[in-house]
Structure 1
Amino acid sequence: MMDLQKRLNPTTLSKISIRYRSNERKNLIILLTYVAASIKFFNPSFLANLSFNINNYIYGVLLILIIPYNYLFFIKVYKSYFSKPIKILILSIILAIAMATVLKKQFLLHSIFATIFPVGSYLTFLFITYKRIKTITVERVILIFGICYIILYCISFIMYPIKILHFQDFDDERGIQRIIINGIGFLFLFFFMSISKFFLTSKVKWILFSVISYTCILATAERMYIASASLLAFIFIIKKQNKYVRIVSVICLIFLFDLIYNTPQVQMLIEKTGNEVSVLSNYIRYQSLLYFLNDFQQSSVTLLFGNGFAYGNKSAYGLQMMKLHDKYYWVEDLGFFGLYVYLGLLSIIAYLVIYLKIFKLKQVKGYEYAFFFMYFIALNGLTNYGTYSENFVMPIVLSLYIIQIIKHKSMYENRVNSI
């Protein structure tokens, strides 16, 4: 005991503290680098307009660096709560690359490049699990990228129609300047985190962040985004109140719904939706689903292992996908069915296991946002490509990591910290 006390003198403790803070700063820088690269640094126009895709090379090199850490989990040196389904997902990615190369006759390098941004970020989960990055570090990253997204959105909105970023979507056909920037997943994760932190700390900054981020969500004019984010936020807020406040909140919601419902923008979206689904057999997404599940499949092998991703117009596979886009056939409109088309049955099994594990866990105060973001991904699973999009995969990874720490917090930290 005396020897231990001598070892833990003030000088030694100070050195340990300095080393600890230095390690956390390194982890923050590493995580910031991987997250920024995963969303193409918000895809500024000067990078997007280069003759070669420099983002593929940057993120490709970063992913190669963490392959050894993933290998340690595959040989069962390390394991964690979500490591099994993530390993299944990674295996499905490898097999899909093989399918695109062998059956779709696409060059191996092109198959790899096509895969890096949609789903390459799943590799980072096992890496940050190995590094045991703390929740406060992850939350700082979410905070930074959430605020950056809002700032860049506001600048883009003001400068419309001039483009400073290469946007995912950029039009005003829905009654508002519709601007969707790379990394939009962080906007939703930041929105849920802001609500969660407000109820934990009661700090005004979090309610301001909630209102600003929700305004940006409304401005996307995306029906499923708005509906699912609004529904989940309402459920979360109602859960925190007593029964009298819940009744008043429901009444207020009805009036608010009636007010929003009658706005020209919402009426335009409703009319558009009604026209699209008036006759199911003529609904383009339904036709697209039937095609990709039947005629698109080359063999029973692709039905099991997927088709992989096409790399632009660099191969016959890429040209085939471009022709299908001209007919408005998009795999990305098919949600989890699209995940199946690209990555096969294993990816669906992986996500079923992930959600079963999530539903088994009890939410922890201040960290409900990670659960609600995953519920958001599930609600959008019929029409949104979040599970295989560079915009959402990294936020999914960070959410699952937060949930995992809640499950195994004794492995990482005795007390879950908060920003």
Structure 2
Amino acid sequence: MLVNIYNKKLTTTEVAIVALFPLVAFHFYQYIGIPRILERMCFHAMYLLVFLFTLKELFRKTTSIYHRVVKYIFACFIISSITAFCFWEQSFVSSYIAYINTFSEYMYFFILYRIKPTPSFVIWIVVAYAVIWMMAYCIAFISLPNIIFGDPESDWDMSRGFYRIKILGGGFVFLAYYMSVNNACEKKGKKWSVLALALFCIIVLMLTRQYIAITVVITTLYLMTKSFKAIVKLAILAAAIVLLVTPQIISHTDNPLKTMYELTMKQVTGNDIEEDVRMKGGEYFLTEFPNNIVTTIFGNGYAHPDSSYGKWELTHCFMNAYIRADIGYIGLYITYGILGFMVFLAMFYHCFKAKLPGEMSYIKLFMLHIASANILSWPIRGDAIEISICLYLFHYYWFIKRKKYYGRNSHSEF
């Protein structure tokens, strides 16, 4: 039986909302068999219903820092839309369309906040969506070069020596991976170790070097805090992988592993054009991008490609490969200003300082992953549902701790 924090049984409607919202928010992984108009109709209908369902949560007074942080994020969306209108002549409708995906995904926090599922149910959601994503990836992989999942209008990147399959919802793979590593250490279950290994293989197949490196570093640091045996096992596994992979890199002239290796060597030696573009893009947005005192504080908003703002950015930024999503925190500052930058820093600060049970360490690991990856990419925008899940779980344990000190009166804070 599914129960919430008040030990009340969740209704079928509540279970359906929590379980199905991510699927609709990911546009059904952009499956080619679903007409785009039907996909968008389902998304906007779900968005409207959920907005009405959670509207009062936006105005609820609470002492929970995690609830307040999400409200401040929404405030940043609204304020930056106003600055985009005032200084870039972008209509509120265009800003709404530009923000709607991220806006709706952060709204998932308020869905969880209102329904209040237990962590065990949330874990079930995370694992289910990670498995679904892996299945979608495998189907897309087998079907190449035909596109089954993902945006059929986008050019799939071949810069890593193979197709980089881009499917919405990949953040669940990382969240489930850290959960599996955490549970493998805390619960000593072999099933979690097997799942962690399978998820890591998928992470490698994503062919995103920084994400692979960040995952390896965070996993190693976490295991170092758990036991010496875990480090020995990890070292043996790493050695085995190196012995298997190195001949492939050396002997084959064209494969993803060799391509990623060569790109990494170029980056280390300073000959990587892509990294040079990132550096120039960051410098451009900090020194040449039009700004004033108001937009410095409140941001410029996010440009819709069809608006005058979007067309200006296309001409001055995209034509030179200067993309906000590639410069992480600088892009965050340009979009939401110093105010938004401080809100997201506050989010990370309160997540990292929270005290959690050992079996819940994975949400800290995932937030550390997001904070690290956001240096050269923008998971804060792309993985908002996964971040919302973590913020809800942080809030859940904040409430449990508060309940111990303040008793039954603390219910009003949830």
Q: 1:272 aligns to what?
A: 263
User: How far did 1:266 drift?
Assistant: 4.0
- Going from structure 1 to structure 2, the CA distance change for 1:45 and 1:102 (only over 3 Å counts) comes to farther
Does 2:391 match 1:406? no
Q: 2:194 aligns to what?
A: 208
For the 8 Å contact 1:132–1:412, the answer to whether it is kept is: no
1:157 alignment partner, SS class:
helix
User: How far did 1:367 drift?
Assistant: 1.3
Q: Please, which runs of 5 or more residues in structure 2 have no aligned partner? A: 250-255, 408-414
Structure 2 counterparts to residues 184-195 of structure 1, below 5 A: 184-195=170-181
Structure 2 counterparts to residues 56-95 of structure 1, below 5 A: 57-73=44-60, 76=61, 78-95=62-79
Q: 1:6 aligns to what?
A: none
For the 8 Å contact 1:27–1:133, the answer to whether it is kept is: no
For the 8 Å contact 1:88–1:346, the answer to whether it is kept is: no
Does 2:140 match 1:156? yes
CA distance in 2: counterparts of 1:362 and 1:269, whole angstroms: 38
Paired amino acid for 2:311: L
User: How far did 1:216 drift?
Assistant: 0.7
1:307-356 deviations in Å (ceiling 9; x for gaps): 111223x2111222333223211000011221111122222211222222
CA distance in 1: counterparts of 2:38 and 2:318, whole angstroms: 23
User: How far did 1:217 drift?
Assistant: 0.4
Q: Please, which runs of 5 or more residues in structure 1 have no aligned partner? A: 1-13, 415-419
For the 8 Å contact 1:88–1:350, the answer to whether it is kept is: yes
Q: Percent identity?
A: 22
1:267-305 deviations in Å (ceiling 9; x for gaps): 422432454572799811111112222322342211111
What is the number of residues matched between the two proteins?
A: 392
CA distance in 2: counterparts of 1:25 and 1:83, whole angstroms: 25
Paired amino acid for 1:128: L
2:289 alignment partner, SS class:
coil
- Going from structure 1 to structure 2, the CA distance change for 1:128 and 1:235 (only over 3 Å counts) comes to same
TM-score, normalised via structure 1 length: 0.83
For the 8 Å contact 1:276–1:284, the answer to whether it is kept is: no
CA distance in 2: counterparts of 1:402 and 1:286, whole angstroms: 36
Q: 1:98 aligns to what?
A: 82
Structure 2 counterparts to residues 212-223 of structure 1, below 5 A: 212-223=198-209
CA distance in 1: counterparts of 2:126 and 2:234, whole angstroms: 29
Q: CA RMSD in A?
A: 3.1
Structure 2 counterparts to residues 43-54 of structure 1, below 5 A: 43-45=30-32, 49-50=36-37, 53-54=40-41
Does 2:21 match 1:40? no
Alignment match of 2:377 (pick from 380, 384, 395): 384
CA distance in 2: counterparts of 1:102 and 1:367, whole angstroms: 44
Q: 2:125 aligns to what?
A: 141
CA distance in 2: counterparts of 1:169 and 1:233, whole angstroms: 32
User: How far did 1:393 drift?
Assistant: 0.6
CA distance in 2: counterparts of 1:47 and 1:257, whole angstroms: 42
1:172 alignment partner, SS class:
coil
Q: 1:8 aligns to what?
A: none
- Going from structure 1 to structure 2, the CA distance change for 1:62 and 1:225 (only over 3 Å counts) comes to farther
- Going from structure 1 to structure 2, the CA distance change for 1:363 and 1:23 (only over 3 Å counts) comes to closer
User: How far did 1:202 drift?
Assistant: 3.3
Paired amino acid for 2:344: Y
Alignment match of 1:124 (pick from 104, 108, 115): 108
TM-score, normalised via structure 2 length: 0.84
Q: 1:331 aligns to what?
A: 324
- Going from structure 1 to structure 2, the CA distance change for 1:412 and 1:338 (only over 3 Å counts) comes to farther
- Going from structure 1 to structure 2, the CA distance change for 1:60 and 1:326 (only over 3 Å counts) comes to farther
For the 8 Å contact 1:69–1:126, the answer to whether it is kept is: no
User: How far did 1:252 drift?
Assistant: 5.6
Does 358-367 or 280-289 show the bigger shift? 280-289
